[in-house]
Amino acid sequence: MRLYDTDKDGNRFLVPSKFYQDANGDYWECRAVIGGRKLLVPAPPWAGNINPYIFEGPNIFVEAASKPLCDVPELRLGATPCDDGNLILTDEEKNELLRTDPLAEKFIRPYMMGKDFINRITRWCLWMVGAEPADIRKCPHVLERIERVRKFRLASKRKITKKCAETPMLFTEVRYSNADYLAIPKVSSEKRRYIPIGWLSTDVIAGDKIFFCENSTLYQFGVLMSSVYMAWVRIVSGRLKSDYSYSSTIDYNCFPWPEIPETHPQHLAIEKTAQAILDARALYPRSSLADLYDERTMPPELRKAHNANDEAVMTAYGFKRHYEDDRFHDEDIATNLLYMYKELTGCEEFTDNYPNLH
């Protein structure tokens, strides 16, 4: 089966649309771009098959990858405190600590987990990477917190946690960015059309419920904030109850990105629509990402920007609207992305359990 055809200008478009059977066998009905004429192509072997991702499509299994399959920056998980709450501060705790230990101000950094990021809640952390021991010892209440961390880690049954009791002033996993970075929450509601993604300042320490990406571009932001990417996430992402439980090794590293150079007009078009999304968000400075991406309250400017971004990303992949209802179909998109993944990895398409439709 052909996944794509090509028009006279060399643009690719999606072929399959509607499956049906007749006396001559199984077919997909589709409409060509040129002239709107109908074409019949043989049905794929997976027609009628419900694959492990619970939709009618090929049995292609996405396996975790330690690094991205495409040429994009790596995604890293934020820092892990393992501190029994002693290195993390609310506004009230921060203010009280500064009242008693004013010198502690040099250790305090903004801190966010995924829920904080989505709901625009700022917390704080004691971040003492490279701090002078002499300065720490001048802050008695900071020392009290550090001592509680040390005792908490020593009481752990895990050897690695016990080992980290030797450096109780530090997070157990010290990961941070030296520049502003793209943040992706690890858990996000499936009720949202898009996973809320955005940039955070290098001053903000991302916790271990945020993935962060350094050196990311507007183009990458645009693709990740598209319906194409969400069609991928919906089939491969893990779940926490019904919410998306995002994984860098599956959701990000295995994603097949469109192969277009930076100077290509479509690459520039995605940069433009991505910036329009950020500009639309900026029109509502008091609103959190939770407010902006609630289907009931999403501002018209933001929805318009996302619709334009979706069109730009679909065009970059060569996807076309379904001729029957003039819509992009998630299952068509997911099928093509799975075959792109197969091409990238050379993985096997399993056929043993396909049903016999004859």
What is the DSSP code string of 136-166? Answer: HTT-HHHHHHHHHHHHHHHT-S-HHHHHHTT
Q: What is the pLDDT of residue 329?
A: 77
pLDDT higher than threshold 60 for residue 114: yes
Average pLDDT for 85-102: 97
Average pLDDT for 127-152: 97
pLDDT higher than threshold 70 for residue 355: no
Q: What is the pLDDT of residue 28?
A: 45
Q: What is the pLDDT of residue 252?
A: 97
pLDDT higher than threshold 80 for residue 191: yes
Most confident of 14-18, 59-63, 88-92: 88-92
pLDDT higher than threshold 60 for residue 214: yes
Q: What is the pLDDT of residue 15?
A: 47
pLDDT higher than threshold 70 for residue 309: yes
Q: How many CB atoms sit inside 10 A of residue 351's CB?
A: 11
| Mean pLDDT of the residues in the chain | 86
* Token pair in block for residue 246: 């995002």
Average pLDDT for 271-299: 97
For 4-53, what is each residue's pLDDT tens digit? 445 555 544 444 444 444 455 544 444 333 334 444 444 566 666 778 78
Judged by DSSP in three states, 204 sits in coil
354 within 8 A of 49, measured Cβ to Cβ:
yes
Average pLDDT for 207-229: 96
pLDDT higher than threshold 60 for residue 310: yes
Q: What is the pLDDT of residue 240?
A: 84
Give just the sign of the alpha carbon dihedral 107, 112, 116, 121.
positive
Verdict on whether the full-model pTM lies above 0.75: yes
How far apart CA 58 and CA 355 sit, in angstroms, is: 12
b/e 188-227 (16+ beta carbons within 10 angstroms → b) = bbeebebbbbbebeeebbbbbbbbbbbebbbbbbbbbbbb
Report the candidate in 308, 330, 305, 306 with the shortest Cα–Cα distance to residue 319: 330
Lowest mean pLDDT among 23-32, 49-58, 140-149, 251-260: 23-32
Q: Residue 18: which H helix or E strand, with range?
A: strand 18-22
